[in-house]
Structure 1
Amino acid sequence: MVGIPVIIDCDTGVDDALALLFAVRHPGLDLRAVTCVAGNTDVDGVVRNTLTVLEQAGAPDIPVARGAERPLIEPARPAPVHGVDGMGDLGLPLPGRRPVDVDAVTLLHREILASPRPVTLIPTAPLTNIALLLRTHPEVTRNIERIVFMGGAVATGNATPVAEFNVWHDPEAAAVLLTAGVPITMYGLDVFTQVVVPSADVHRLRASSEPGTRLAGELLAHRPAHPGEAPEAEEAGGLGDAGAVCAVVDPAGIGTRLLPVEVSLAPGATRGQTIVDRRPRPGEAEHHEGAREQALVDVALDVDVERFVKLYLATVERS
């Protein structure tokens, strides 16, 4: 049986790398392409890191394309938590693979329309490439099954007190995504931070002789679940973006609610916030003429941590 056709749009990144390792090894997924965008590091670094991960994982010749080098409006703002090279400064070798000779939007357009089955898009990065695609080639939506994006937060942000990094990095692009006209799942910080691989499992992965499995362990060890924990817990690592790919394989592993969502675009302290309306009924503002139209999004509010950890480990330890 052919797997679910998916395309990952990423800013590789430690946890994007974990997502790629899972995607290329799960038999239920058909990874058709990977597109790269500035985010965790500059876009050329993202391309390099993506090709390195695919090579280390023993992936087939999956097309990889360079995308936007900055957000639609803002300057690029890399995330220092991922190290100078965006991959935890692990000293990985340069890849022998090369990106394709078309840009990310062209590759997305081509692969979505060429797929014999509707594609699931999995953006784990700022949404610049996706916004450019939707505005340039809106016809692609006829062959998109769903967009499952890692981004946003119902409660607390990480880039700011209220804004998650991927949405904060390019809020206008996130606002475009929400008007795509296809089903959307938001895998935000509320579940992102919960899925943690225990230290014993991370240690086992790091000791593997298989390059892709060992890389997964090194990446997990670089992103501790809770900095400052007791020494014996230091190697426990969060799955991060990889949880969004797990949710495509096993959607029953997350609990979602269909809720109105919008992105704050105004300058100031709330810029980049995903405003998720959890009220049981509309308020006074919505009763007035000219009230804002909000997108309905399947927002992940709960996650079965043990289920996703087992799924991830069983997949990345496949050679």
Structure 2
Amino acid sequence: MTDGQPIPVIIDCDTGVDDALALLFAVRHPALDVRAITCVAGNTDVDGVVRNTLTVLEVAGAGDIPVARGAERPLIEPVRTARHVHGEDGMGDLGLPAPTRVPVDVDAVTLLRREILASPRPVTLIPTAPLTNIALLLRTHPEVTRNIERIVFMGGAVATGNATPVAEFNVWHDPEAAAVLLTAGVPITMYGLDVFKRVLVPAGEVQRLRTSPEASLRLAGELLAHRDPATSGDPTPMGGLGDAGAICAVVDPKGITTEALPVEVVLAPGPARGQTIVDRRPRPGESEIHEGTREQPLVDVALDVDVERYVNLYLETL
């Protein structure tokens, strides 16, 4: 909380397994005022994302939070979902009933603009998905930046990617949108794969959640227990908080170690497309000396995370 008041936030998501974990946390933490949730194609198609988002809110017993359908494809690329990771329904194929809630009758960009400008306090945007909706918002309604406190996005990687050897899925899915985000002119925190992959809930806690009498806790446990069915063996242990870590970083920013660094998205075709190039050099190199420097936006890049701190924060909140 700031000054004892909850932080107004808007979450832009492509609700798959870890987005759902993020939503369960966000609607329950008293330091957050979730003003809206917008949906975009990514882990599954956009209509599936809307359905999954409404289902999670229903299971969580959340208040009347407006949910809007957004972009059904990236700015340039075709849709390339991650159902092979998140299941055919995008949320672990848990067989959850269809929600009774419905989305609002405006599109995501309209809802984003309305809620940002209507907020009495500057809003923190938390995209945990491909950044198509955010790019469309920034290009269509640039005036919203006057009431955006910060954008904390889950995306990018300093080291290794997952969609490609160098590109993280959310940025790879819509690199042009990510490039637009970086020029938003507001403070930005990049919660990338370097910290994303490290925050794991211990197996005993996962099992405890799965056997809880409370529906929202059982759902969290089942989501944490979900493994990528396309992998053999167990290279990625169950219990990953994933996108929920980005929400934790808004509630408790001291849980991550960040450094203000230049970040650029590779837009050219080829094996590096979608890579976030994070310049960690202490001084310019030969390229800048011989060819001149180009100003790159500085982003607060998460380089380390206090795993136990965020795991405890998540479990205590639920």
Q: Note whether the superposition's TM-score is higher than 0.5.
A: yes
SS at match of 2:53: helix
Residue 44 of structure 1 is matched in structure 2 by 47
1:292 to 284, 291, 294: 294
Matched, 1:157 2:161: yes
Matched, 1:60 2:29: no
Once residues 288 and 180 of structure 1 are traced to their aligned partners in structure 2, the CA distance between those partners, rounded to angstroms, is: 29
CA-CA distance at 1:227 after TM superposition: 6.7
State, as a whole percentage, how many aligned pairs show the same letter. Answer: 83
Q: TM-score, normalised by structure 1?
A: 0.95
Partner of residue 262, structure 2: 260
User: Mind listing any 5+ residue stretches in structure 2 that lack a counterpart?
Assistant: none
Residue 24 in 1 paired to residue 54 in 2? no
Q: Per-residue deviation at 1:2?
A: 3.0
Q: Using the alignment, how far apart are the partners of 2:249 and 2:149 within structure 1?
A: 14
TM-score, normalised with respect to structure 2: 0.96
Q: CA deviation at 1:288?
A: 4.9
Separation in 1, partners of 2:141, 2:32: 25
- Give the Cα–Cα distance (whole angstroms) in 2 for the partners of residues 215 and 293 of structure 1: 45
Larger deviation: 215-224 or 172-181? Answer: 215-224
Distance in 2 separating the partners of 1:293 and 1:136: 24
Matches of 2:200 and 2:291 in 1, distance apart?
46
**Equivalent position of 2:148 in the other structure:** 144
Amino acid at match of 1:214: R
Query: Deviation string for 1:249-273 (max 9, x for gaps)?
Result: 0000000000000000000000000
Does residue 274 of structure 2 align to residue 269 of structure 1?
no
Secondary structure of 1:197's counterpart equals coil
Deviation at 1:209, TM superposition (A): 1.0
Distance 1:57 1:262 in 2: 37
Give secondary structure in 2 for the equivalent of 1:257: strand
Match among 184, 200, 207 for residue 203 of structure 1: 207
- 2:252 corresponds, among 250, 265, 268, to 250
Question: Structure 2 vs 1, CA of residues 222 and 44 (structure 1 numbering), >3 Å: closer, same or farther?
Answer: same
CA RMSD of aligned residues (A): 1.5
Residue matched to 1:124 = 128
1:178-193 matches, within 5 Å, as 178-193=182-197
Alignment partner of 1:71 is 2:62: no
The corresponding residue for 2:176 is 172
1:5 alignment counterpart: 8
Alignment partner of 1:146: what SS? strand
The Cα offsets for residues 196-216 of structure 1, whole Å up to 9 and x where unpaired, read as: 000000000011111111100
Give aligned pairs, total: 312
Q: Distance in 2 between matches of 1:64 and 1:126?
A: 17
Unaligned runs of 5+ in 1: none
Deviations 1:61-117 (A, max 9, x none): 100000000000000000020000000000001000000000000000000000000
1:222 is aligned to 226
Q: Residue 82 of structure 1 aligns with which residue?
A: 86
| Corresponding position of 1:279 | 281
Conservation of the 8 A alpha-carbon contact between 1:223 and 1:238 = no
User: Structure 1 counterpart of 2:65, which letter?
Assistant: I
Contact 1:191 1:300 in 2 (8 A): yes
1:91 maps to 95
Give 1:287 shift: 3.4
Distance in 1, Cα, partners of 2:39 & 2:205: 30
Q: Name the counterpart of 1:213.
A: 217
Deviations along 1:10-55, one digit per CA (max 9) or x if unpaired, are: 0000000000000000000000000000000000000000000000
Tell me the CA shift for residue 229 of structure 1: 4.5
CA distance in 2, matches of 1:99, 1:298: 33
